[in-house]
Each structure stands twice: as C-alpha cells, then as structure tokens.
Amino acid sequence: MTRVGRSEFRWGERTYVMGIVNVTPDSFSGDGLAGDVRAAVGQARRFVDEGADVIDLGGESTRPGAQPVDVDEERRRVLPTIERIAAAVQAPVSVDTYKAQVAREAIAAGAAMINDVWGLKKDAGIAQAAAEADVPLVLMHNQETRDYVDLLPDIVRSLSASVQQALAAGVAWENVIVDPGIGFGKTKEHNLEVMRRLGELRVLGRPILLGTSRKSTIGLVLDLPPDQRLEGTAATVAIGIANGADIVRVHDVREMALVARMADAIVRFRPGEC
C-alpha cells in the first residue's frame, strides 16, 4: 500500500488512473493549456468526476524536439495551478518534473507525488525532495540514445539503479513506483516489445506505471494523428493491465477508466466479486 495525499493505493486490488493535465503551449497531444489556470482546474475536476485517482500536472513538454524550460518558467506555469487544483479536488495531485526545486515548491503548493521522467538522471535532488516530504516518487526509464544490448534487462538494470539511488536518499520503499518509459529513448519496435514483456519489470518489486496514451508508437502502427488514437490507447491500456500495470497515465480519462474496470474484472478476478 502507498499513501498518496489523503488516498490509499492498494496495489493489486485494481488499476489506478492518472489523468494528464498539461499547462504547456507545446504538448505533443495537442491538449496543452498554456498556463490557463481556470481551464486546468476545470479539466482536473472533470477528470476526477470521470474516474481519475490522481491528477498529473506538467509544465514542460517532453515531446521529441521540445525546447527545455528553465526553472522560473516551469514554476510560473505549475505552482499556481497545483495550488488551485489541490484545493478544488479530492484526488491527489502529482507534479511531472525532473527539477528538484520545482518538485519541492510543488509539494509546498499541494502536490502529493513526484513524477520524474528522467529517473533521477537529470537531478538527483528529486529523491531528497521526495524523501523529505515523504511522498511517492515515480522513476521512469529514459536515456539519450536508442541503443541497447538487451532491451528489457537493460531497462530493468537502469530502473534498479534509480530505485537504489532513491532508497539511499531516504525515499521509503512503499513510495517508489517504476515506469518503463514508453516513447522515451526507444524505437517503435522497442516500445511494442516493452509492452509485450511488461511483466518482467515485476522483478523490481514495485508498482508499475504505464504511460502509452496517444503516444507516437500508436500513431506509427495505425497511421493516425494524436487526436485519433483513442482506440489504440485503449488496446495498450488493456494489454498493459493484463501484463502487470498498476497505474495507467492517460489523456482520455472517462474512456480509459472504463477500459481499466473491464480489464480488472478479467485480470484481477476474485471469486464472489461478480
């Protein structure tokens, strides 16, 4: 069990849904709200009504070719929005950042989770920020190149190193979550293989977050733009849950919450529940 704000995430009982709120002008999926706090709060409220268990708010696009955002600009984008969302919804708020300063200030503003897309490789201070606040920390696999000796063992080794680094900094074991990093430092073929073999990450002993929503791999397979990847996303979410995902990070919360419920009824079936 992991406590996220006022919520308890009981791993293995069901799949949790993380709704994506982007306050960027250049999101790959076309849903960036460009600092519109009121719109972000409205989207967060809708997501919670639709079944989101946690809201993940990001102020820097991670799409290929995106321009880096400095600390001051990221703070300006995310801090007022986190404060407003945390006051407006019961679900906890996660901050999507790899900068320790932003993470600390986001927690002070009301965030209850840190989602680091670089798995401590860009700023190791993220782990100390999570430890000091006693909040969950998502460690995602990411790398600059697409070169691997052996894909899944390489990812497991990298994530294991990130997990050990987090624990050494004082992050509680129950607060560590891992993410294989679909779309980050991987080809289409790599991404498909990771989804097929997702269960191999279980060796790490931590819950798995899967973020496939509207990703380019879906577009490459189906030859569709981001706003037409709903069905492709649904397929990856269902298969991801079947292969061991504990949290799914999505743009289309209503639809994917239903997919998760149906997948859970099959994968996590317990006699007497149906």
Catalytic positions, written as ranges: 215, 249
* Pairing status of strand 176-179 against strand 137-140: parallel
Give the whole-angstrom CA distance, residue 19 versus residue 82.
Answer: 14
Give the whole-angstrom CA distance, residue 231 versus residue 239.
Answer: 12
Quick one: three-class SS letters along 39-106? Answer: HHHHHHHHHHHHCCCEEEEECCCCCCCCCCCCHHHHHHHHHHHHHHHHHHCCCCEEEECCCHHHHHHH
Q: Bridge-partner residues for 208, per DSSP?
A: 178
* Pairing status of strand 16-22 against strand 7-9: unpaired
Give the whole-angstrom CA distance, residue 28 versus residue 131.
Answer: 31
Helices (H), the chain: 37-50, 71-88, 100-109, 125-133, 151-168, 188-196, 216-222, 230-242, 253-267
Cβ-based neighbours of 235, under 8 Å, separated by 6 or more: none
Q: Which phi and psi (to 5°) does residue 22 adopt?
A: -105, 125
What tokens were used for 169?
Answer: 């900094």
